[in-house]
Structure 1
């Protein structure tokens, strides 16, 4: 492992991230909300830290190996969560635990919050929270890869360590730089389109841009305590549903559809078909229960709630137009369960990803068939391609570790005094990068103790980086030469 290369690369990325503090700084000037000095101080600290790590090693030109990439990614997400918490400490007077939790929730696009009274917060702080989720959605690493080759740092190892999904070797274009730029352009185009539609639908320009940042990123932060129910607009809700679903579909598919101008790429993907079918089935089931139990006055209002909340939860966005934690019968737990599935691999959504559930289901079906026909030899295929055995094994391993982390963290939360429902909801929403939980954390996490907030923030980062990126650093073999 090349320690100097890791330090240099972290310095570059932190220095680049300091540029993200310019927009909220300018907004603070525009609205004269008193936060200019706080953002200027944070920008100076972040840029200085990056420069101190980078400039002494400016002339070094070395290749980033896979092992180095894991260390860089894990360290970067923790370091950025710490540095990006400074405006919350300086501006809102939050303690370190609350500020770190809020920043980690933003970067990982979880959307869980410890802040109340959003409607009274300074505009620059509100925008800053939204911007952090937007950066986290595309991935800080992937965003920076387009610039890294010019600075003498290879990018593919970082891309593989950060990108969600089991098939990380697949690239949209032959060169990783072009891949990153393509992802960025698609992401930006979707964000601009979403903002324009929000604006036309009745949001203010500020709210339209702010909510577009957290819709496409499937982050879920809002500028209002009431989330999207503040606007009470079916049109705005439908726009949000469309872009939440687009954000949760693989950007590989978006790229192919855009390049070839063919929408059939979406239907040809088994993962997208299963994802959309799941959304439809769960939506109809939820609407039926809400209507049958009398929770909603009419079926149309039940369908409105079901469409929005189902899309919001399965994409791990976390927007709300109603508190699903108080819905009747099994609905609250059902929605938390679908957050474990999440969106498609290569998207901004959280969860374990649909593709893994598809592979597990197909593998289970093959095992049953082989019990009936012991001599049957049939490879597992996905989109008419044979899935390598190593990928199937890695998916089962990921599933086991994911469930194990969830169980252990839930037990720790209960040991800290949480009741079973609250512990289940808190850990599920953090590891799946969802946002709203159940029980006492249905609305926010302000009542959680500091130690638990720190642990849950780390669980968010583990969920965002898909567990193994962090776990590999804990194995003795990783550190052996």
Structure 2
């Protein structure tokens, strides 16, 4: 294990992250809200800390192995999540505890969107912008950004990329060089963010709200600058724009690359992909069920409102964004539970969405069908295909292993929450909301997590990390084999 090389790289990444503090400091200067000092202090502290880690190890530039990459990613998310809490601690508004500051920071970076803050409408603009910025950088992964812009990380870049990017297949590259692949991902990400911000602005948002909400929309994060979330704007047009960009961001970014690589949009690249077709089918099915049940229970006065709310909440929850226009927990009980379970599926692999990913659910379904066929015809040989491609058994085994680990982590976290005194419904939904990087839950966490006890919040922070790092990236560090030389 190249420990000194790992410390050197973490130091560089921490120093890079420090410069992100200048953006909210600039917002504080523009709006003169007096909240810029905590970000300036944090900038100097993180820059000095990164330099202190880098300088003694600056000559250690050994080639990274796969396990080095996993350790760097886990260390980095833990360090950055902790560093991201500093502005909340230094700021007088909001005045929150250490636990709440860490919870808010990790929730932002992991794009979970669960918040402990209330009174967002009255917080300084700099703090609001910072929360949105955390989600935006966490959405695509700061590690991927670093691989794209820092030539010093060119060696071993593939190890970082594989450890960071979500999804069951992590060795596929859109371009021959990993640094170029990371750049392509960020070009697409930035383009979508700009387009989303412009669309929000045209629909009636101010520039600040348009940019802020584009950050959390493309990152599928769910943070808002208002307590009422997207419901503050009370605009079907803004809701529709949000739905469109959430669906785009929940698709595999390699599909976006393939569709635009030749200079124009080619929908055939999307429809040829089995995961994309399954994703669209799930979205349509969820919408129809939600819409019909809202009509049956006369939840809204008009069909148009029912369509608007059903479509928005269905896409927002199932893609793990967690934006709200209304308290979906107040709908007929079947719907909140259904949507909460849909977040376990989440977005496509290689997207900014959370959950287990559509491709894994698709593979599990195909494997289940294969076992049923084997019961009927024990001697027959069946292969699992995605499209026309037969998958090796190793991939299927890996998906089953992931599902087992995901379920195990979920059960352990839920039992740990119940042990802290939380009721069963709140514990179940809180773990679902954090492990799936969703945000809102049911029970005591339907609106915010401020009333949850401190011990439970630390457990949920761990659940956020497990969800963001796809379980195995973090779980592998707890195995003795990983640490053997």
TM value normalised by structure 2:
0.98
Q: Secondary structure at the match of 1:128?
A: helix
Q: Identify the residue that residue 139 of structure 2 maps to in structure 1.
A: 137
User: Any conservation in 2 of the 1:291–1:297 contact (CA below 8 Å)?
Assistant: no
User: Any conservation in 1 of the 2:110–2:464 contact (CA below 8 Å)?
Assistant: yes
Residue 119 of structure 2 corresponds to residue 117 of structure 1: yes
Q: Identify the residue that residue 76 of structure 2 maps to in structure 1.
A: 76
Q: Secondary structure at the match of 1:212?
A: helix
Q: Identify the residue that residue 354 of structure 1 maps to in structure 2.
A: 358
- Per-residue CA shift, 1:42-85, capped at 9, x if unaligned? 00111111111112222332111111111110111011011010
Q: Which sits farther off after the overlay, 44-53 or 185-194? A: 44-53
Q: Identify the residue that residue 307 of structure 2 maps to in structure 1.
A: 303
Counterpart among 370, 374, 395 of residue 370 in structure 1: 374
- Per-residue CA shift, 1:399-422, capped at 9, x if unaligned? 011011111111111111111111
User: Any conservation in 1 of the 2:2–2:62 contact (CA below 8 Å)?
Assistant: no
Q: Identify the residue that residue 285 of structure 2 maps to in structure 1.
A: 281
1:22 and 1:113 map into 2 onto residues whose CA distance is 23
- How far the C-alpha of 1:300 sits from its partner, in A, is 2.1
2:125 and 2:29 map into 1 onto residues whose CA distance is 10
2:35 and 2:46 map into 1 onto residues whose CA distance is 17
- Per-residue CA shift, 1:25-46, capped at 9, x if unaligned? 1111111111121100000111
Equivalent runs, 1:88-237 vs 2, <5 Å: 88-91=88-91, 92-150=94-152, 153-237=155-239
Q: Secondary structure at the match of 1:124?
A: helix
Q: Secondary structure at the match of 2:170?
A: coil
Q: Identify the residue that residue 254 of structure 1 maps to in structure 2.
A: 256
- Per-residue CA shift, 1:155-205, capped at 9, x if unaligned? 100110111000011111111000000000000000000000100100000
Q: Identify the residue that residue 390 of structure 1 maps to in structure 2.
A: 394
2:16 and 2:448 map into 1 onto residues whose CA distance is 31
What's the RMSD between the two structures over aligned residues?
1.0
2:79 and 2:283 map into 1 onto residues whose CA distance is 36
| Aligned residue pairs, count | 481
Residue 347 of structure 2 corresponds to residue 336 of structure 1: no
1:30 and 1:301 map into 2 onto residues whose CA distance is 38
Q: Which sits farther off after the overlay, 53-62 or 381-390? A: 53-62
- How far the C-alpha of 1:152 sits from its partner, in A, is 5.9
2:193 and 2:46 map into 1 onto residues whose CA distance is 26
- Per-residue CA shift, 1:383-413, capped at 9, x if unaligned? 2111111110010011011011111111111
User: Any conservation in 2 of the 1:413–1:452 contact (CA below 8 Å)?
Assistant: yes
Counterpart among 240, 264, 269 of residue 238 in structure 1: 240
User: Any conservation in 2 of the 1:62–1:152 contact (CA below 8 Å)?
Assistant: no
2:457 and 2:7 map into 1 onto residues whose CA distance is 28
User: Any conservation in 2 of the 1:249–1:344 contact (CA below 8 Å)?
Assistant: yes
Residue 297 of structure 2 corresponds to residue 312 of structure 1: no
User: Any conservation in 1 of the 2:114–2:439 contact (CA below 8 Å)?
Assistant: yes
TM value normalised by structure 1:
0.99
User: Any conservation in 1 of the 2:416–2:459 contact (CA below 8 Å)?
Assistant: no
2:153 and 2:27 map into 1 onto residues whose CA distance is 30
Q: Secondary structure at the match of 1:308?
A: helix
Q: Secondary structure at the match of 2:344?
A: helix
Q: Identify the residue that residue 379 of structure 1 maps to in structure 2.
A: 383
- How far the C-alpha of 1:151 sits from its partner, in A, is 5.2
Equivalent runs, 1:387-466 vs 2, <5 Å: 387-466=391-470
- How far the C-alpha of 1:147 sits from its partner, in A, is 2.6
User: Any conservation in 1 of the 2:433–2:440 contact (CA below 8 Å)?
Assistant: yes
User: Any conservation in 2 of the 1:61–1:152 contact (CA below 8 Å)?
Assistant: no
Q: Identify the residue that residue 41 of structure 1 maps to in structure 2.
A: 41
User: Any conservation in 2 of the 1:109–1:133 contact (CA below 8 Å)?
Assistant: yes
- How far the C-alpha of 1:368 sits from its partner, in A, is 1.0
2:151 and 2:283 map into 1 onto residues whose CA distance is 40
User: Any conservation in 2 of the 1:351–1:432 contact (CA below 8 Å)?
Assistant: yes
2:381 and 2:344 map into 1 onto residues whose CA distance is 31
Q: Secondary structure at the match of 1:341?
A: coil
- Per-residue CA shift, 1:279-300, capped at 9, x if unaligned? 1111011011011011122222
2:226 and 2:153 map into 1 onto residues whose CA distance is 40
2:355 and 2:454 map into 1 onto residues whose CA distance is 25
Q: Secondary structure at the match of 2:405?
A: helix
Residue 90 of structure 2 corresponds to residue 86 of structure 1: no
User: Any conservation in 2 of the 1:108–1:461 contact (CA below 8 Å)?
Assistant: yes
User: Any conservation in 2 of the 1:406–1:431 contact (CA below 8 Å)?
Assistant: yes
- Structure 1: segments with no counterpart, 5+ residues: none
Q: Secondary structure at the match of 2:343?
A: helix
- How far the C-alpha of 1:378 sits from its partner, in A, is 2.2
Q: Identify the residue that residue 53 of structure 1 maps to in structure 2.
A: 53
